[in-house]
Chain A
């Protein structure tokens, strides 16, 4: 399921030598844009919400920066941060799952691949889950599923709209069947949440695939995607291997999904906050 993580890791490895990463912002002062290959001054990129000022390429951003972009300054309160993943299957592949968790914790400061909480979006209170691709490819295991479940339960209790920002390769294989179960779990809690008649907005960012795409992320009342975000069930490499042919240009990108009727709109990063505000104003019945 989460083939992306692998693909991206490989890319990362390769690109480290070239001093420039396609995802996230590297350490140096200058960044090469994967969209247009232009060299961009890192500060400028940050000022521009990590969107290439030359070609509008949307870099993947971490949960912290996403929160800064979406929520009114200082208003976001994290919830359920005490939830820590456990290695329930005692899983070991080329590395122990426990060690992977530890490494990614050290790398990101996060205990798992999503941050949950609530905050103000242009003064409208909303509950939210924000995925972080830097932690095990944003993959969904028990803790991520639990955070989504608890966030919707919190939103039911407090009568809040819910916005989820996904960036995930899919289910976390190291948690085996438990990760698969999160697909039904999250949909179950959303079914319950629907009784509140409050909006659930799903914002798909690059990439959203596998078990995340095939569960809660695809049943938002409103479906938004960032430009050129890769969104699909199977990863492109798996599909290529299956059908033995090259995939068409733009396949599984946000624009392709819009054209095929799978999402409501593509919104640039700089406009997402305002779009959400407008939607919430329209959809919430005071």
Chain B
């Protein structure tokens, strides 16, 4: 159950608390309240449906950053076997806001051939200490450079690349500038665009600006239903363009940053549905949907010759959102 509740999730939380209470009641054997629990669960699902039917862009932005939302490592845990994480950019440090490694996609049945993948993604932290270590998912140049190193290894071993995007943006720090943040992002885009194995990107939470596109130059780009993808955060946009942070909701709407918006604008290739109430309410279902999309996309791409994969990707990106 989600411990943290967004404002618009509160009615759900209240029902969930009641359900929990009744369950303990049940356990203690004082009385059988199965019927009531069932009723409340039906009611809860109805309430969730009602709320989620009419989410606005700002609410979706809040969901995309929900503190209980599954992160890259949660998905890796659920969808891979024998995952081995790699570390470091071989030049300066290991940026822990980016995780990357090789593994097999978990098989649904034993008859299937094992599918190797490289998964690289932004990683946010859950506890305060973890958040600090992960720098809130905001990468320094070394994060993008570690990624580039792994992209090239994947190419060498003919392993498809999956990137999971979840960052507020690249870190705006002194050291980041000193060590070439701009170059690191540009080079990450360049490397992905030119790599000769399939590249599939999924925005799983926040797709924040340059930090997101650094991992987003893929053959196929998907978004989880309640993720966002934007050139600037709604808050940033409100404060810079509207000169008023109170207008964040308006800015979120104007930016067209939801999965639906971006599919309509032909920026992404598909939306991965989330479980009722969002991925944080059932990370296993969310991961299953993610996995299915990844497998399907790999199957679509994996028989293409390496040069063709690269050339088609370049062509796609030269023409994205073309004006003429």
Chain A interface (Cβ within 8 Å of chain B)?
A: 1, 3, 6, 83, 86, 88-89, 91-94, 142-143, 146, 149, 171, 173-181, 183-185, 187-192, 210-211, 213-219, 231-234, 238-239, 242-243, 247-248, 251-252, 260-262
Contacts and interface: CB of A to CB of B under 8 A. Distances in A.
B186 A216 contact: yes
Given A181-B213, A218-B185, A243-B173, 20 more contacts: A93-B251, A94-B242, A143-B323, A149-B318, A171-B209, A173-B232, A177-B231, A178-B267, A180-B209, A180-B230, A184-B193, A187-B190, A188-B317, A191-B194, A191-B314, A217-B186, A232-B181, A242-B171, A252-B177, A260-B178
B209 A1 contact: yes
The range of chain B's interface size is 35 or more
A178 B321 contact: yes
Given A176-B231, A211-B210, A239-B173, A93 B242 contact: yes
A11 to B, nearest CB: 16
A3 B172 contact: no
Interface in B286-324: 313-314, 317-318, 320-324
A185 B212 CA distance: 14
A235 to B, nearest CB: 8
Given A92-B254, A173-B231, A233 B318 contact: no
7 contacts: A89-B254, A173-B232, A177-B255, A185-B318, A217-B182, A233-B185, A252-B177
Nearest to A90: B254
Contacts of B321: 142, 178, 181, 185
A238 B209 CA distance: 15
A181 B267 contact: yes
Interface in B201-239: 209-210, 212-213, 216-217, 229-232, 237
Nearest to A213: B182
A214 B210 contact: yes
Contact of B210 (A93, A177, A192, A233): A233
Contacts of B180: 218, 260-262
B30 interface: no
